[in-house]
Chain A
Amino acid sequence: GQNIDQPTEMTATEGAIVQINCTYQTSGFNGLFWYQQHAGEAPTFLSYNVLDGLEEKGRFSSFLSRSKGYSYLLLKELQMKDSASYLCAVPRGSSNTGKLIFGQGTTLQVKP
């Protein structure tokens, strides 16, 4: 089966760095997505990792280790607007058809 685990809640201070972890179990791996979702809004794409390693995109970076079934999202120089839910997701099944399985999401609260 497929399963995704992420912490439910995290709190961090403005200007700090926070790492949101995600572990997954899949029958076949076709990449891992990170999405940001503000309350009451649809998710917005942050990253898509297929290969091992760290990919940096501005203040946000995403890391993947396929052998460990592990990924993390790293947010630097936190801003108040980064308070949101962060969703880890993997394609369902043996190919990236567009059907995603989402984790429960990690609600990040950034405090002044």
Chain B
Amino acid sequence: GAVVSQHPSWVICKSGTSVKIECRSLDFQATTMFWYRQFPKQSLMLMATSNEGSKATYEQGVEKDKFLINHASLTLSTLTVTSAHPEDSSFYICSARDSQRGTGELFFGEGSRLTVL
């Protein structure tokens, strides 16, 4: 089946540094990928939509300059958390749809747990 992979699975960084998270679709092409964030004991919240070859679209309240998204190819989207602060500590999850499938199923990556000290 379709697989979406994220890297790294977990990362610890110091406050003020930047962290890059990669999301790859392994056996299908994804012109669009989605980035979600999940705080402890809360549900997933959509942060932004990553569009291959064009700018990402951000949800209300999400700072585009802080969460930089690049969708350089049909199989890779990256999320960079710039100048990270402890409040950015969260579980970041990407997802993608296989447009060749008619099920509408959205596949999720394994998630990346960010801890900012």
Contact = CB atoms under 8 A, between A and B. Distances in A.
A42 B93 contact: yes
A96 B104 contact: yes
A102 B34 contact: no
Contacts of A91: 104
B60 interface: no
Interface stretch (A18-26, A43-51, A65-73): A43-51
Interface stretch (B14-22, B43-51, B61-69, B79-87): B43-51
Interface residues of A, number: 25
Interface in B33-82: 34, 42-46, 49
B111 to A, nearest CB: 4
Interface in A21-35: 30-31, 33, 35
Contacts of B110: 41-42
